[in-house]
Structure 1
């Protein structure tokens, strides 16, 4: 059985504080210096600019990643990951059958405008 749910919170305490927007992966390349294999993704968020993200989406090939629409948290502080600085957190869930921490990205069911806000 999975872990217990976290305590109930209000949208004002959580989701309203996060700036989650839709982007499109422009480039995917191996991320140098990371403790585990990861991709360095260049993601276009429309009028919010192009941002760099480092993530463990290695169950996907670069060809699968480039062009994909992804959801990213734009207002987290940048953080060093290996030899890069990750400027945005791309949201994902556990990749089926993969080791812990290996992710597949979240994407909308229909193509949407880059920079669109998650609500």
Structure 2
């Protein structure tokens, strides 16, 4: 597998990656590719919604309370009838099955990742 083009440290510093806890997850019935509508609590940053194609590995009820890592400074993006406000991060495995990134111990919501 090849890596992508090099970026500068300044490029990396523009990305705001934070810890959060999933507080709501439901099936995104209108999505063309199976996905969930997810709400994440980022502490002082508030709650943000996202759409995530993680249906191969997770059930909505299993996601509640899970700590995750997300990019919070993308502009909102319209997906079908839903406005996505952040991007959950995960590894993309065989057949595009996504495994969410998660801290290995409990951390405060909204902490920056660096």
Q: Deviations over 1:29-84 (max 9, x none)?
A: 01131111100001000000001010101120112211000111111011111221
Which segments of 5 or more consecutive residues in structure 2 lack a partner in the other structure? none
Conservation of the 8 A alpha-carbon contact between 2:30 and 2:80: yes
Secondary structure of 2:44's aligned partner: helix
Given the alignment, which residue of 72, 85, 96 partners 2:83?
85
Secondary structure of 2:26's aligned partner: strand
Given the alignment, which residue of 7, 27, 31 partners 1:34?
31
Which TM-score applies when normalising by structure 2?
Answer: 0.92
Q: Does 1:103 align with 2:98?
A: yes
Given the alignment, which residue of 48, 53, 59 partners 1:51?
48
Which segments of 5 or more consecutive residues in structure 1 lack a partner in the other structure? none
Q: Report how many aligned residue pairs link the two structures.
A: 113
Over aligned residues, Cα RMSD in angstroms?
1.3
> After TM superposition, where is structure 1 displaced by more than 3 Å over at least 4 residues in a row?
none
Secondary structure of 2:13's aligned partner: helix
